[in-house]
Amino acid sequence: MIRTFSDLDLRPELLGALTALGYEEPTPIQGEAIPPLLEGRDLLGQAATGTGKTAAFALPLLQRLEKRGRGAGPVALVLAPTRELAMQVCEAIHKYGKDLFGPANGARVLPVYGGQPIGRQLRELERGVDIVVGTPGRVIDHISRGTLRLDGLLTVVLDEADEMLDMGFAEDIDAILEAAPNDRQTVLFSATMPSRVEKVARRHLRNPVRIEIRREQAEQGVAPQVRQSAYVVARPHKPAALGRVLDVEAPEAAIVFCRTREEVDSLSETLNGRGYRAEALHGGLSQEQRDKVMNRLRNRTTELLIATDVAARGLDVEHLTHVVNYNVPAAPEAYVHRIGRVGRAGREGVAITLAEPREHRMLKTIERLTGQKIVMEKVPTVADLRARRLELTRAALRESLLEDDLDGFRAVVETLTDEFDVMEVAAAAVKLAHEASTGGGSADDDDTDIPQVAARAEERAPYDSTRGGSRPSCGPGGAPARKGRVLEGPTAKLFIGLGRAAGVRPQDLVGAITGESSLSGRDIGGIEIAERFALVEVPEGAAEEVISALRATMIKGRKATVRRDGKR
């Protein structure tokens, strides 16, 4: 069992980069995929989104990279479905390999995608690159122009293969692999393994190692007394959203889990800057420092711990009430382990997850694994927060009234009632008490609301536009769109958490809506079906009716999340 990156025999320059990034241990797919990839084996790997597949193929590519003369063609080609993903992968490889040949003498990685002027790409290719990361369309362009040489390729990686095939890149992928040297290594990673992907693997991979990171029942479910909820928040708003959620939840003791040491440090700093007393706990601290932090949590000097999984391993705190996942954990098992820390011995526990839009899919995987619902919540608004604070003040006043040692204060009220109504006197007293307990007003970020975002918002981002008119064009996100009627009057857009992957077609949605609600086909506006969700436009006045009707029914044999589409 691979536990640490050093077990993986990686070059010290790579280990250094990982430490600098704060990665403490390999994710499951990394632990299993890196050794065979280092041996040069072909590989077929399946693991859900957010499980660290990029480093799983990038580290072996970098490990095998040798310092070569300028002008040589690339030794590795990574194909990715979209411009955004190609850029992300490129940045990741760049970070992992930035000191590969000595300080600041890193691997040369070039992103190649449509929509960017081809001139810069040509210049870079001419100067020589080690690794090219591109979308299939633009890569084909370069191959046919003779500007991308494949004869030096040692490895080709198909990243997010399911998405690439969904987007109609099958032929391009075939053509690229046909043009690559026969003795190359071929690596395919995919979040799902439908037969289309299997077919590509059968055709182009040679005796591949197969790795599937199963969503096995790590522990028999989660204690039922754990309340589980999630908030979809865009990355820049996460610290503020976390603060807001902590304010409303008012945990007795909480652990916030982060991915890396850097994230732990920067989040602790941010939270402390916002007036929370947060302590950091990660593998970069000495054992003594860690013990100190743990003791402060145990003896209630601290109520908020920001930690990595490794540092918090085996940690058991009796009075812990809340576990917060600052990101969706890379392995569903980690989620189960984390939330197993609360809800012990019949106490109520709360598990909260902050998910970025792209991680929404991962939440579904976790729900399937645990067999338990994770309730999607809205980040508390400023108004919610005020209401909650007032509620706390009210509760404190009530306690004070019950304790009944107010004699010393009655005289004050009496003198004021000559001039004012008792109600007014009381209200003024509440105001003072409230201001005193909330620190004289609101924290500085309190008056701005955190924007609500839709899950998997980037599925609607424009896709690679390199492919000219060679393929039938699709709607946004490759989604077949049904124009529908232009509805009169105000309309509402509904998000339905099932899409093409579940076999949903426009007629299925029309059928479900007309069958279960009072609407007829003419009342339904445009329908967009993306890979994992669909959007339907209905008259505003019927929105709530349609939402509850669809929630109560099955679409394509499945229950779907249905709600108003978040404003973007």
Q: Would you tell me which residues interact with ligand ADP (CB under 6 A)?
A: 23, 26-27, 30, 47, 49-55, 259-260, 330
Residue type, 188: L
Q: Which does 306 bind (CB under 5 to 8 A by kind): Mg ion, ligand ADP, none?
A: none
Q: Tell which residue, 158, 3, 39, 11, has the closest CA to residue 89.
A: 158
| Pair 207, 36: CB distance under 8 Å | no
Helix H or strand E encompassing 171: helix 170-179
| Beta-strand relationship, 527-529 and 562-564 | unpaired
**Spatial distance between the Cα atoms of 422 and 105, rounded to a whole number of angstroms:** 75
Q: b/e string for 228-252 if b means 16 or more Cβ within 10 A?
A: bebbbbeeebbbbbbbbbbbbbebe
Residue linked to tokens 């009430």: 321
For the chain, what is the total number of helices (H) and then of strands (E)?
A: 19, 19
434 near Mg ion, rule: CB under 5 A: no
**Spatial distance between the Cα atoms of 516 and 40, rounded to a whole number of angstroms:** 55
Dihedral (Cα; 298, 300, 302, 307), 10-degree rounding: 30
Indicate the residue among 47 and 307 with the shorter CB distance to Mg ion.
47
- Listed in sequence order, the residues at least 6 apart from 109 whose beta carbon sits closer than 8 Å to its beta carbon are 90, 93, 94, 97, 129, 130, 131, 132, 133
Q: Which does 434 bind (CB under 5 to 8 A by kind): Mg ion, ligand ADP, none?
A: none
| Pair 101, 67: CB distance under 8 Å | yes
Minimum gap (Å) between residue 358 Cβ and Mg ion: 10
Helix H or strand E encompassing 363: helix 360-370
Indicate the residue among 50 and 60 with the shorter CB distance to ligand ADP.
50
Indicate the residue among 53 and 244 with the shorter CB distance to Mg ion.
53
Question: What tokens were used for 479?
Answer: 């989604």
Indicate the residue among 186 and 321 with the shorter CB distance to ligand ADP.
186
Q: Which does 302 bind (CB under 5 to 8 A by kind): Mg ion, ligand ADP, none?
A: none
Q: Which does 135 bind (CB under 5 to 8 A by kind): Mg ion, ligand ADP, none?
A: none
Minimum gap (Å) between residue 164 Cβ and Mg ion: 11
Minimum gap (Å) between residue 88 Cβ and ligand ADP: 7
| Pair 231, 241: CB distance under 8 Å | yes
DSSP state of 477: G
Q: Which does 526 bind (CB under 5 to 8 A by kind): Mg ion, ligand ADP, none?
A: none
Minimum gap (Å) between residue 160 Cβ and Mg ion: 5
Indicate the residue among 259 and 337 with the shorter CB distance to ligand ADP.
259
Indicate the residue among 50 and 251 with the shorter CB distance to ligand ADP.
50
Minimum gap (Å) between residue 380 Cβ and ligand ADP: 26
Q: Which does 532 bind (CB under 5 to 8 A by kind): ligand ADP, Mg ion, none?
A: none
Indicate the residue among 85 and 374 with the shorter CB distance to ligand ADP.
85
Task: Find the residue with minimal CB distance to Mg ion.
Answer: 53
Minimum gap (Å) between residue 29 Cβ and ligand ADP: 7
Question: What tokens were used for 125?
Answer: 């290719």
Q: Tell which residue, 138, 192, 188, has the closest CA to residue 159.
A: 188
Minimum gap (Å) between residue 530 Cβ and ligand ADP: 18
Minimum gap (Å) between residue 18 Cβ and ligand ADP: 7
How many of the other CB atoms lie within 10 Å of CB of 489?
7
Minimum gap (Å) between residue 189 Cβ and Mg ion: 7
Taking contact as CB under 5 A, which single stretch among the options 46-54, 175-183, 291-299, 403-411 is the one that binds Mg ion?
Answer: 46-54
Indicate the residue among 259 and 282 with the shorter CB distance to ligand ADP.
259
Minimum gap (Å) between residue 53 Cβ and ligand ADP: 3
Please classify residue 307 by burial: count the beta carbons closer than 10 Å to its beta carbon, then call 0-12 exposed, 13-18 middle and 19+ buried. Answer: buried
Q: Which does 26 bind (CB under 5 to 8 A by kind): ligand ADP, Mg ion, none?
A: ligand ADP
Q: Which does 358 bind (CB under 5 to 8 A by kind): Mg ion, ligand ADP, none?
A: none
Indicate the residue among 53 and 138 with the shorter CB distance to Mg ion.
53
**Spatial distance between the Cα atoms of 393 and 408, rounded to a whole number of angstroms:** 21
**Which of 8, 29, 53, 493 is in the footprint of Mg ion by CB under 5 A?**
53
Indicate the residue among 65 and 330 with the shorter CB distance to ligand ADP.
330
**Spatial distance between the Cα atoms of 260 and 245, rounded to a whole number of angstroms:** 21
Q: Which does 330 bind (CB under 5 to 8 A by kind): ligand ADP, Mg ion, none?
A: ligand ADP
Indicate the residue among 180 and 258 with the shorter CB distance to ligand ADP.
258
Alpha carbons within 13 angstroms on the beta-carbon side of residue 522 total: 1
Measured CA to CA in angstroms, residue 303 lies from 158, 289, 317, 455 at distances of 45, 17, 11, 31
Q: Which does 259 bind (CB under 5 to 8 A by kind): Mg ion, ligand ADP, none?
A: ligand ADP
Minimum gap (Å) between residue 191 Cβ and Mg ion: 8
Question: What tokens were used for 451?
Answer: 């924007």
Binding site for Mg ion (CB under 5 A): 53
